[in-house]
Amino acid sequence: MSKPLKKISLTKLLHQNKNKWSFIKLRQFYQSLEKILKETCSYAELCTNNGHWLDYTGTEMNSSCFSCSSVKPDCVCELTFSFSQLFEGPVFFYYGLSNYYQNYRQYGVSKDANQLSGDTTYFLSPQDTCSPYQYDSSGKPIVPCGSIANSKFNDTFKLYLMVNGVKTLVPFDGKGIAWWTDYNVKYRNPATVNGSLAKAFDGTVKPPNWPKPAYELDPSDAANNGFVNQDFLVWMRRAALPNFRKLYGRITGGDYSQGLPAGNYTLQINYNYPVVNFKGTKKVIFSNVSWMGGKNEFLGLAYLVIGCLCVVMAIVMLIVYAKYKFSDDDDMQ
């Protein structure tokens, strides 16, 4: 991840020109291209390419999460930002990691699909691919085993809207953030023993990085535990590239179904996940989706460029064709 080149507020620029799309200045065009190619933006401000995002790694001294970046479990930090106008909903809240190789091959195979489909015979003897998270130091099998499960993202976020100086919680909806088929077909919890999911996990231990075992992931919703925990499923779907984002929750509740109203916001972060030692960054992204999926400037630009190219070529070819045709006729005579 390269350092940002300019420290100018692109937000402003974009907002000024929001109604003047008819003539994009070359400079702006270049900048947006650059943004797409580099995904750069200054720290501690709401950046606006591919959604509004905010870096909270805390490597910079002035960042409020700086104190948390040196490993300190259960560290809490807060970021503030503002929307000058309504951010149209439904708003989706993502967390993003960079320089994080979820597509590493050995990492990717480090899971036991049989365990995850609820086959308890594999609970006691996980597959070798899970190594080194196959058995713990005392020889007990780890469920869910493997590197992917063990490295599950465990930062938690709370968003507050400052209304008249009072913090109001903006609720995240964590349902339906994983693929329907993952939640309903591919991943299955083991059959409960005497109606208790925890008993099915008897004789196994939780992954070392997890604070709680799998069957206690979501105390608020019993159907969101075990392997069919939405956050867990989102994490288990490996990202394609080292810079990625994953869905954390939707903002759909009540007042916010239209989107996030203009105002000042505070994001409270439970900072648990270490990324500094492998030069990674963490960020949160607010994004809305259209009928064609998440916001993606590349697609629009690419179509624009190629469309223009095609028009130019069509004109050139028309001229060429006209010339060719006439000369051809001359030949025939």
Partner 1 sequence: MLRRRINLLFGGDEKRVDSRTIYVGHRPCPATEAFIPPKFCDNRIVSSKYTIWNFLPKNLFEQFRRIANFYFLIIFLVQVIVDTPTSPVTSGLPLFFVITVTAIKQGYEDWLRHKADYEVNKYPVIVLEDGRSIRKESEKIKVGDIVEVVEDETFPCDLILLQSTRDDDTCFVTTASLDGESNHKTHYTVPDTEKDLQSLNATIECEQPQPDLYKFVGRMHIYKTDQEPAVRSLGPENLLLKGATLKNTKKIYGVAVYTGMETKMALNYQGKSQKRSAVEKSINAFLLVYLCILISKAVVCTTLKYVWQSQDGQDEPWYNEKTQKEKDTYVYLKMFTDFLSFMVLFNFIIPVSMYVTVEMQKFLGSFFITWDKDFFDPEIQEGALVNTSDLNEELGQVEYVFTDKTGTLTQNNMEYIECCIDGFQYRNSDSMSELDGFCVTDGPVSKLQQKAGRDKEELFLRALCLCHTVQVKEAGPDEIDSDQVDGLVSELSQPDEQRGFIASSPDEVALVKGAMKHGFTFLGLENKSMKIRNRENNVELYDLLHVLNFDPVRRRMSVIVRSKSGETLLFCKGADSSIFPRVRQEEVDRIRMHVERNATEGYRTLCVAYKQLSPEEFAVADAGLRDARLALQDREEKLMAVYNQVETSMSLIGATAVEDRLQEEAAETMEALQGAGMKVWVLTGDKMETAKSTCYACRLFQRGTELLELTVRTLEDGGRKREERLHELLLDYHKKAVQDAPPVKAGVTRSWSTANQEYGFIIDGATLSLVMNPSPDTNSSRYKSLFLQICQNCTAVLCCRMAPLQKAQIVKMVKNSKGSPITLSIGDGANDVSMILEAHVGIGIKGKEGRQAVRNSDYAIPKLKHLKKLLLAHGHLYYVRIAHLVQYFFYKNLCFILPQFLYQFFCGYSQQPLYDAAYLTMYNICFTSMPILAFSLLEQHIAIEYLLDNATLYREIAKNAMLKWGPFLYWTVLGIFQGLLFFFGVKYLFSNPALQDNGQVFGNWSYGTIVFTVLVFTVTLKLALDTRHWTWINHFVIWGSLAFYVFFSFFWGGIIWPFLKQQRLYFVFANMLSSVSAWLVIILLILLSLLPDILLMVFRKPRGPHARQMKRRLPSSGTSTIFMLSQTTSTHSFSWSD
Q: Site for partner 1 (CB under 8 A): which residue of 19, 22, 37, 61?
A: 37
Rounded CA-CA distance 176/298 in Å is 27
Report yes or no: 115 and 144 within 8 Å, Cβ to Cβ. Answer: yes
Report yes or no: 70 and 252 within 8 Å, Cβ to Cβ. Answer: no
Is the CB of 9 or the CB of 296 nearer to partner 1?
A: 296
Q: Would residue 262 be called left, alpha or beta, if left means φ above 0 and alpha means ψ between -120 and 50 degrees?
A: beta
* Residues in contact with 200: Cβ distance below 8 Å, sequence separation at least 6, in sequence order: 120, 123, 189, 190, 191, 192, 193, 215
* Alpha carbon distances (Å) from 206 to 62, 143, 146, 209, 271: 37, 6, 11, 8, 21
Rounded CA-CA distance 82/259 in Å is 13
- Residues 117-146 touching partner 1, rule: CB under 8 A, are 117, 131-133
Say how far residue 116 (Cα) sits from the centre of its chain.
23
Size of the site for partner 1 (CB under 8 A): 71
Q: How far is the CB of 300 from partner 1 (least distance, A)?
A: 9
Q: How far is the CB of 164 from partner 1 (least distance, A)?
A: 31
Q: Site for partner 1 (CB under 8 A): which residue of 171, 242, 259, 261?
A: 242
Is the CB of 106 or the CB of 164 nearer to partner 1?
A: 106
Is the CB of 74 or the CB of 329 nearer to partner 1?
A: 329
Binding piece for partner 1, criterion CB under 8 A, among 6-14, 15-23, 32-40, 57-65: 32-40
Rounded CA-CA distance 159/173 in Å is 12
Does 15 bind partner 1 (CB under 8 A)? Our answer is no
Q: How far is the CB of 107 from partner 1 (least distance, A)?
A: 4
Beta bridge partners of residue 266, listed in sequence order: 80, 160
- Residues 58-87 touching partner 1, rule: CB under 8 A, are none
Does 105 bind partner 1 (CB under 8 A)? Our answer is yes
Binding piece for partner 1, criterion CB under 8 A, among 57-65, 74-82, 112-120, 212-220: 112-120
- Residues 285-314 touching partner 1, rule: CB under 8 A, are 287, 289-296, 298-299, 302-303, 306, 313
* Residues in contact with 204: Cβ distance below 8 Å, sequence separation at least 6, in sequence order: 123, 124, 140, 141, 142, 143
Binding piece for partner 1, criterion CB under 8 A, among 17-25, 74-82, 96-104, 199-207: 96-104
Cβ of 163: how many Cβ atoms within 10 Å? 11
Q: How far is the CB of 88 from partner 1 (least distance, A)?
A: 14
- The two most distant CA atoms of the chain are separated, in Å, by 96
- Residues 175-234 touching partner 1, rule: CB under 8 A, are 176-179, 181-182, 185-186, 234
Q: Site for partner 1 (CB under 8 A): which residue of 108, 118, 171, 261?
A: 108
Report yes or no: 164 and 176 within 8 Å, Cβ to Cβ. Answer: no
Beta bridge partners of residue 270, listed in sequence order: 76, 156
Is the CB of 308 or the CB of 317 nearer to partner 1?
A: 317
> Look-up: residue for tokens 């990691």?
97
- Structure-token pair, residue 17: 């020109």
Is the CB of 199 or the CB of 279 nearer to partner 1?
A: 279
Where do runs of H (alpha helix) occur along 165-296?
A: 180-181, 197-200, 230-236
Is the CB of 21 or the CB of 180 nearer to partner 1?
A: 180
Q: How far is the CB of 48 from partner 1 (least distance, A)?
A: 13
Does 155 bind partner 1 (CB under 8 A)? Our answer is no
Rounded CA-CA distance 231/68 in Å is 23
Is the CB of 71 or the CB of 193 nearer to partner 1?
A: 71
Q: How far is the CB of 130 from partner 1 (least distance, A)?
A: 10
- Residues 258-287 touching partner 1, rule: CB under 8 A, are 274, 277-279, 287
